[in-house]
Amino acid sequence: MRVRFHGAAGEVTGSCHEVEANGHRVLLDCGMIQGSDEDERRNEDPFPFEVGDIDAVVLSHAHIDHSGRLPLLVRRGYRGPIWTQHATADLLKVMLEDSANLAQMDADRDNRHRRDGKTNHKPLFTQGDVAAVLKQVRGIDYQQPREILGGVTVTLRDAGHILGSASVELAADEPGGRRVLAFSGDIGPRGTPILRDPVPVPGADLVLLESTYGGREHRERQATLDEIRDVLEHAWADRGNVIIPAFAVGRSQELLYWFARQWDEWKMARWKIFLDSPMAMKVVDVYGRHERLFDEDAQAVWKGRPHPFKMPNLHLTAEVAQSQAINNVCGGAIIIAGSGMCNGGRVRHHLRQHLGRKQSHIMFVGYQARGTLGRRLVDGAGSVRIFGEDYQVNAVRHTVGGLSAHAGQTGLMDWYAGIEGRPPVVLVHGEDDAREALARAMEKKLDARVELARPEQTREV
Ligand SMILES: [Zn+2]
């Protein structure tokens, strides 16, 4: 058995590893490269492997940096199965359809701005490509071994990162005996709301471990919750609205969960709550279909009153007209809208309305990448440009940390330490400083043999 690192080797996005097992070829993830325009142009490059050689794909979770090049893989001739957890299969549809939409809008905008009269910029992929991918998806449950190819078995275990996220155990009957590769996927922190804690793989000959936050720890969750409570109190005292830019998958649903769970303590009944994101609403439906994956706390909250997605003061605004009507609410509203980093989506319309108002509060609850509108606001910009117009910022800004979907250093080491025999480990899915910090800590505290994956490097399992 051997593995070759095609993506997320020395960077965070574009997760893609090719495994040769018992004479078959299996692709673990087929993710999109995200970042600068130059980075993202690499998505159009040919794959660094023969598409026709791939016999099966196993997808760890629905995030685009793990799944986003599947439509290209299928368009370029892949006709085999795409194995993944059932909830990931459902989320994949929402994510890829949204991604195809954005790709089409990008292409249209580019074509409008071209001065040479040519309008030939094609989107990276289309809804037709996405539909073809979805036909090839095969759902499986956690903890149920499945023979996906002759002598090759896959077992998925809950990774506690987003709904349906999995660590992948790939076992193969090789001529020299059984070999097992464990791929962490993205690992969530313990105690992530709604989701169960990550489950380690029992044993393996080689481990591929993500290292996104390999160099740091997260703040205590209770401190984060207290911070959210304080922001809401502050905004209520100011008679203002609270705008929360949030990712449609995971973070938006988590916020509604906390509001329902802290209903009395945070005096949530007095607010009008808007979930102003059609995509987040589709994800709410997916959560509804997979309640059996929730942890005990969430199961209890879902059985109690109020239900997180049916709070009496929660307004789901699907239509644009409904979204625009929120402008008439001058105080006492909490507005959750995408995109999470404010570089697209309805949140920009709300920011336009609210940035100038002293009584408005903007609460950031997720990562803000360099170059995004969200990052400029978090960094304290006095004025920002939205839709070609400048807006002065008088609103109060809050950055609430600690809601990460990724485990910190200790969480990653705990997951690894749960694997019997402490096999050699290769770090993927992290910037070099994060990987090096994690490698040092694992060598020192766990006596682990740690390597850093290099692009296109091959490693025997
Ligand atoms: Zn992820």
Q: Are residues 415 and 340 in the same domain?
A: no
Domain boundary among 399, 418, 433: 399
Q: Are residues 364 and 412 in the same domain?
A: no
Q: Are residues 342 and 448 in the same domain?
A: no
Query: Residue 349 sits in which domain range?
Result: 221-399
Any bridge partners for residue 321, and if so which?
none
pLDDT, tens digit (0-9, with 9 covering 90-100), for 319-374: 999 999 999 999 999 999 999 999 888 999 999 999 999 999 999 998 888 788 99
Nearest to 169 by CA among 186, 152, 156: 156
Q: How far is the CA of 69 from the centre of ligand 1 (A)?
A: 15
Q: Are residues 383 and 415 in the same domain?
A: no
Q: What is the pLDDT of residue 402?
A: 85
Any bridge partners for residue 392, and if so which?
383
Q: What is the pLDDT of residue 8?
A: 84
Q: Are residues 386 and 411 in the same domain?
A: no
Please, which residues have CB less than 5 A from ligand 1, an ion?
63, 186
Query: Where does 114-220 have alpha helices with state H?
Result: 127-136
Q: Are residues 333 and 395 in the same domain?
A: yes
More confident residue, 11 or 200: 200
Q: How far is the CA of 393 from the centre of ligand 1 (A)?
A: 32
Query: Where does 42-196 have alpha helices with state H?
Result: 64-67, 70-75, 86-113, 127-136
Q: How far is the CA of 65 from the centre of ligand 1 (A)?
A: 7
Nearest to 277 by CA among 257, 311, 313, 248: 248
Q: Are residues 422 and 349 in the same domain?
A: no
Q: Are residues 409 and 318 in the same domain?
A: no
Domain boundary among 348, 370, 399: 399
Q: What is the pLDDT of residue 115?
A: 67
Q: Any idea what the CATH number is for the domain that residue 192 is in?
A: 3.60.15.10
Q: Are residues 138 and 35 in the same domain?
A: yes
Q: What is the pLDDT of residue 269?
A: 98
Q: Are residues 192 and 282 in the same domain?
A: no
Q: How confident is the model at residue 10 (pLDDT cuts 50, 70, 90)?
A: confident
Q: How far is the CA of 186 from the centre of ligand 1 (A)?
A: 5
Q: Are residues 443 and 373 in the same domain?
A: no
Distances (CA, A) of 314 to 59, 252, 339: 34, 13, 19
What is the count of structural domains for the chain? Answer: 2
Q: How far is the CA of 307 from the centre of ligand 1 (A)?
A: 27
Q: Are residues 235 and 346 in the same domain?
A: yes
Q: How far is the CA of 321 from the centre of ligand 1 (A)?
A: 33
CA distance 383 to 130: 39
Q: How far is the CA of 327 from the centre of ligand 1 (A)?
A: 33
